[in-house]
């Protein structure tokens, strides 16, 4: 067992932080044994004590929705709403990933930048291309980061270069499942029908069957934009709502499922998500940038719907999940201004959502409770710390003001993760 000494902060429950000044986390075989105030409080012998002095030690970040293949478009082309934005900017860029060399160059930078911002686990969209998707998975594995990586499935309403017949899509997914589905793997496939408009009923049905056959998780998009929702109603007239359309194909919680956005989710759709245990990937910057709207996160929590945070590059512009916490709080404040019964997110709630709640999609990830995988960040915030701040104020300042410069060391599953290399 190794002991890590620092100012330890994490959340067991959403309503409060656990704070252990100059405390110890014991770690063995990549998992937390216990957290304690003193080194002699552990039952086991410590083979080594790694002392991070006055640094903060917090659980690492999880990005629950990110389009790795839109990395080049990060921070540009913010002038359209979702549907024209997809056609003009996003699909043409994704088509470039038919070239695995281009994919390797871009994806290697993407993975390096996830690392930079302290994101140790991600749920990522690749593209429709099998070979490029493999490249992304290999880069995650080489980096030592955890990821669910989705080969995207589409057979209509995108551009020809990104369409793929359902049987081919399923065969390609099966190839990835056979290659990558080791029980303890850090990098795994996830079934990824892009969204209802870009998948025919045959494709959706095949995706649902594939998920059930291999008990594979599922990711997609849900109720992001008003125009999109109208379109889905036309495409799936027999469904009660957008979520119900996925549900009819076995893509809504029959296996672990994460749905990005849910900006307009309410009523029956909300109840169905709670019942099925479908997680929302809340992407506040993307929802603002693409003029969607503001997702009702307090309502999700009140209804027992699971929530994590997503950067959603390149609808979102910022890879930092710290900054997503800030935006999530801000967006919840705008919902609160309209309806004071929906209290805005507290800092501990935003932190819990980003770490323990999101992390549950990967297993026992996102906390320092016993048995959790040790995914952690060592925060050296001296540059932010120009006066006597409490530990929680230091954490708050790091979340609001900090960046990659203040993350000194990163751990995923107990292993210290060096900077991933970038392909020229």
Pick from 234, 165, 175: nearest CA to 203: 165
Note whether 288 binds its own copies by CB under 8 A.
yes
| Residue from 178, 181, 393, 421 binding its own copies (CB under 8 A) | 393
**Stretch of residues binding its own copies (CB under 8 A), selected from 31-39, 117-125, 210-218, 286-294:** 286-294
Per-position x/- string for 103-142, each x denoting binding to its own copies as judged by CB under 8 A, each - no binding: ---x--x---------------------------------
Between 166 and 331, name the residue whose CB sits nearer to its own copies: 331
Residue 80 CB, shortest distance to its own copies, in Å, is 11
Cβ closest to its own copies, residue 168 vs residue 403:
403
Phi, psi of 83 (to 5 degrees): -70, -50
Q: What is the dihedral of CA 296, 301, 307, 310, to 10 degrees?
A: 30
Q: Cα–Cα distance between 58 and 361 in angstroms, integer?
A: 18
Residue of 1, 36, 50, 78 interacting with its own copies (CB under 8 A): 78
Residues 191-210 that bind its own copies (CB under 8 A): none
> Nearest CA to 248 among 297, 306, 209?
209
Residues 6+ apart with CB under 8 A from 256: 217, 218, 277, 279, 361
For its own copies, give the closer residue by CB, 154 or 263: 263
> 314 preceded by cis ω (within 30°)?
yes
CB 413 to its own copies: min, Å: 29
Half-sphere exposure of 46 (CA within 13 A, CB side): 22
CA distance 174 to 53: 48
Among candidates 286, 218, 294, which has minimal Cα distance to 258?
218
Token pair for 135: 């490249």
Q: Pick between residue 8 and residue 350 the one whose CB is nearest to its own copies.
A: 350
Site track for its own copies across 334-363, x = CB under 8 A: x-xx------x-xx----------------
Residues contributing to the site for its own copies (CB under 8 A): 72, 74-76, 78-79, 106, 109, 285, 288-289, 291-294, 317-318, 326, 329-331, 333-334, 336-337, 344, 346-347, 384, 386-387, 389, 393, 396-397, 399-401, 403
């Amino acid at each position: 067992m190794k002991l890590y000494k620092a100012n330890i902060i994490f959340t067991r429950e959403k309503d409060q932080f656990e704070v252990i000044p100059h405390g110890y986390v014991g770690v063995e075989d990549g998992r937390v044994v216990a957290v304690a105030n003193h080194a002699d409080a552990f039952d086991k012998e410590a083979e080594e004590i790694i002392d991070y002095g006055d640094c903060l030690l917090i659980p690492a970040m999880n990005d629950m929705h990110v389009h790795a293949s839109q990395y080049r478009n990060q921070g540009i082309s913010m002038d359209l709403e979702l549907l024209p934005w997809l056609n003009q900017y996003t699909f043409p860029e994704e088509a470039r990933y038919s070239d695995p060399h281009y994919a390797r160059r871009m994806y290697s930078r993407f993975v390096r930048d996830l690392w930079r911002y302290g994101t140790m686990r991600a749920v990522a969209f690749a593209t429709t291309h099998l070979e490029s998707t493999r490249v992304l998975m290999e880069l995650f594995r080489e980096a030592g980061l955890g990821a669910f990586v989705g080969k995207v499935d589409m057979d209509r309403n995108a551009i020809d270069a990104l369409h793929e017949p359902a049987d081919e899509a399923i065969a390609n997914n099966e190839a990835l499942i056979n290659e990558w589905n080791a029980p303890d793997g850090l990098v795994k496939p996830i079934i990824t029908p892009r969204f209802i408009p870009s998948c025919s009923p045959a494709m959706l049905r095949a995706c649902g069957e594939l998920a059930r056959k291999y008990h594979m998780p599922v990711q997609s998009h849900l109720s992001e934009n008003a125009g999109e929702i109208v379109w889905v109603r036309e495409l799936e007239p027999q469904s009660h709502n957008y979520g119900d359309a996925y549900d009819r194909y076995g893509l809504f919680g029959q296996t672990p499922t994460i749905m990005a956005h849910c900006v307009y989710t309410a009523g029956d759709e909300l109840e169905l998500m709670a019942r099925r245990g479908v997680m929302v990937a809340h992407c506040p910057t993307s929802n603002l940038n693409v003029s969607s709207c503001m997702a009702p996160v307090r309502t999700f929590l009140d209804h027992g719907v699971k929530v994590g945070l997503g950067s959603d590059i390149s609808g979102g512009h910022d890879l930092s999940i710290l900054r997503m916490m800030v935006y999530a709080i801000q967006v919840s404040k705008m919902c609160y201004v309209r309806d004071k019964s929906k209290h805005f997110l507290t800092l501990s709630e935003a932190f819990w959502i980003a770490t323990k709640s999101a992390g549950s999609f990967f297993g026992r990830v996102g906390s320092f409770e016993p048995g959790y995988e040790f995914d952690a960040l060592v925060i050296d915030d001296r540059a932010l710390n120009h006066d006597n701040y409490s530990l929680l104020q230091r954490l708050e300042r790091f979340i609001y003001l900090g960046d990659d410069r203040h993350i000194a060391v990163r751990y995923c599953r107990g292993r210290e993760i060096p900077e991933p290399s970038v392909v020229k």
